[in-house]
Structure 1
Amino acid sequence: MRFKVFVSLLGFAFAGLVSELPVYGQGVIVPIICDIRPCRPRPIPRPVPLPNALPVKSIELDTKIEGQVATTHVIQVFRNDTPYTLEGTYFFPIPETASIIEFSIWENGKKLVGEVRSREEARRIYDEIVRRQRDPGLLEYAGKDLFQASIFPIPPNSDKKLELTYSQILKAESGTVAYRYPLGTGRNVWGRPGIENIRSNMPQQKFGTVSGKIEIVGREALRNVYSPSHSIDIKNKSERAVSVSFETKDNDNDFQLFYGLSNDDFGMSLITHREPGKDGYFLLMLSPKDDVAERELVNKDIVFVLDTSGSMADEGKMEKARSALLFGIRTLRDGDRFNILSFAGEEHLMEKGLVAADAAGKKRAEAFVQKLRPTGGTNINDSLIASVKQFDKSDRPKMLVYMTDGLPTVGETNVEKIIDNLNKAKTVDVRIFPFGFGYDVNTALLDKLGSENSGISDYVQPKEDLEIKVSNFFTRVSSPVLSNLEIDMGPV
């Protein structure tokens, strides 16, 4: 049986929620109480408080990775321990490159699979079903990287099982491919604008058993399969095939898995797909080797920009950012030039002009970084403009590493206008690599900065292993081996 689903950009009510949610997160169901009559348009107030989110009884993960394309199927069982019939809003942030394949809910032992409908039609169908007290699951694309489904009814003292399947392209950094299944939404979603019945003083989402199976089939030899977050069992089926499994309880740390690729000069993967009678598609992936000779590298100019606003004092973000910046300075090579710009409400340069990355220059940089303290607002617009003005018109590769934790609060705050002002200020081509810290970072802005300026964005969460993420990030930035690529398709 199939039920009606819509996929659309969520409008004004959740605009604040979308910008502040983390990029990654386990699905949560935020409940409201229903009486005999339907919940809509608003639940009847109750003296008994509801949980912020329904407890997660179990999560069962089944992932298949072919090349660098991962298809994740997850079964989630939520528990309604209240004596009330509930209507729930299900949130599931997905990875940046992911696409939803299927969403389904279970009712009375039957699996109901979603169908895509227009926003208006789906809302009309949903309201009709709620009035008849039937069980829909309306899937909404609620902005970049976030899906929402409305679930009704959720009977009292019962389980509610949901299934979700999505595919994504995994990133390869310095010859290492990373896969993540998120489990941390429950500690971040509370108190966001647009969500009813949220009580910040109540316990956060509870977790039960989390188990997973990941099958990896490579197009080349696999090596160094490991997880920094969970204890895993690894079975090597062949040089190119590995099976990974894990099980844990009461653990909301994101599941992370890394594996290495072979060390050819360039690994290339070509994936094609064509349905009968339709246009075809292809995906071409190139991965440079990990070990690059010094003679293959060129001297570069790089400007590090560090957010020192007051919010960086939270959750140890300033110390993480400071450590990341010091690591980046140490990766500079003789012949490179650099500068450091710190900003909050105003900008402060380490020195005027680009500095030689010799021992003396690095020593002055480390002293400058150690003195930085978090205070003030966040003027992203002016800091970007000031940073791109540090580059001259030489033919050296130019890179900007932009480290921040949040949203623009001072000066221009509109994302599109910030991007437009940056483009007007640039007089040379600069690759921008945004690096976000914490959960409240404006991922829409940072992703746009990276994608529109030949760079790529990355993020560090409070509990994440900083050393692995930062070393991969700066290795990628400090040692470029491919740029300005072109594909000659020939006569097609």
Structure 2
Amino acid sequence: MKLKYLIVCLFVVLMSIVGQVSAQEPTPFIEPPIWEFDGLRIEYQRVNVAISDQVATTHIEQLFVNDNDWMLEGEYLFPLPEGAAVSQLTMWVDGSPIEAKILERDEAQQIYDEIVRQLRDPALLKYVGTQAIQANVFPIPPRDERRIEIEYTQILPADNGLIHFTYPQSSDLYTNTPLDEQSIRVEVQSNEEIRAIYSPSHAVDIFRDGDFRAVAGYEAFDVQPDKDFELYYTVSPEEIGLNLLSYKEAGQDGFFLLLVAPSVQVDEVVAKDVILVMDTSGSMEGEKMAQAKEAAQYVVDHLNPEDRFNIVAFSTGVRVYQSELVAASQPGDYSSFINGLEAIGGTNISQALLEAAAQVENGRPTTLIFLTDGLATEGITDTPLLLDSVQQATPDNVRIFAFGVGDDVDTLLLDSLTQNQHGTTSYVRPFEAIDEEVGNFYTKISTPVLANVHLEVDGVQVEQMYPAELPDLFAGTQLVLTGRYRSGGAAVITLSGEVNGRTQTFTYHDNSFRNSGGDDFIPRLWATRAIGHLLTEIRLHGEDAELVQSVVNLSIRYGIITPYTSFLIE
């Protein structure tokens, strides 16, 4: 049921009453009153999904609120996921079970068509051809509410270890106002090892509990859902799982998505060096300094036994914990060094990074964690010169991960540093906790399993892949790679990299790029990645006309808002 459908029904009733009065006796024209409808408001929508070996049980709880001074009536209509084989259905209203039925495709389509025809609203068209749940759950008294719960079980489709879950959620089915609160939680348990977990529709937080259980969560407030929630996950006995999705229209190049995910528990971990480069200038005084110390403590506490580390603190000058890298198995009194750091002086970024680079051992994977809250005020202060000197001094085996704290950091410097060394940049706003950001990040990259990653595809011509430079793989994380391909067909995909100085290769046979059809979300995902890559190039190297035009073309074609095209879409 939709609010607009309710309005139409009420309008018809009012007009029929006016017609009866007019037939009895003529009356002078009276301007009709203006009716204001606040309509139905969804205070919350909470979705909990439990998936066990492809059997998904979805429990939905919605609270509808009638903010009007009159009663609203109608029927509740909930579209079921396309292709869902529903084996169990339960429904409650305010805690009491009610009678509900599953409408088959033809019957549900008649209802969708009727609503669309009356309202001229295409919002329901995407559900045509699906089943639906129908029940009489209204009326809702004025200034009252109704709590609705639905639970259904379905078997999820699997394709070569790739499982796909969909929750059909368009709040426009019930109301035109944003949801006050929305949450979706999906818990996955499997007898096979879970590898990649990915949502192309929503930004989800993923928690892994070993190789056989994982939880994906999404939460939003004051939100108007405009697309279904989709989640893909893969299972594989391989040490590093790889799954392929593709989409192709006739006569055009295709799009593909690769999900690459190593096991959470690995037999062999890459031994690494970790160098913490910490800003201790005067601007770090107070809570920022305290949190930076907590972050450094966390990183060193969670090193693997085979790792080595050092700490480089900088302000006007540089202080180092030890003159050379220290074995994590014999760390010494690093806590006293960290706790003794004080925020005072200027910001000598160049000396700190050059000191860190001088400690790197060629060939050994090295993670450099760089934390700063400001601009260079000592040493080399010119950004291009600083970048050039650091790049020349830093070996290729170093990955720089930068954390910019506050709003006054040199974003060009940080982004360029991390791009040159195949790392990432994270920006910590003033109200965010530095130690939590660094701790969460280090948990993800603490256990590298494959360094200097390369990927080859034989049998199908691929191009325009993003990310352009493949990152290292870490236990429990995943690589999401998008790209284009010319013609569909069978392909052999080879993934290679280094493990403790040895080259290791993983070969995946029986991968098929589609000749037509497939997963239609992939083109827009690829375009989003392509635009992101182009915008980074523009930010780092200036507004080249060709790059800007490429952004505009992709933005218009795929409907993606960018700094260069938002005026076209608003």
Please tell me the TM-score bracket, short chain as reference: 0.3 to 0.5
TM-score, length basis structure 1: 0.45
Structure with the bigger RCO (C-alpha within 8 Å, sep 6+) is 1
Larger radius of gyration: 2
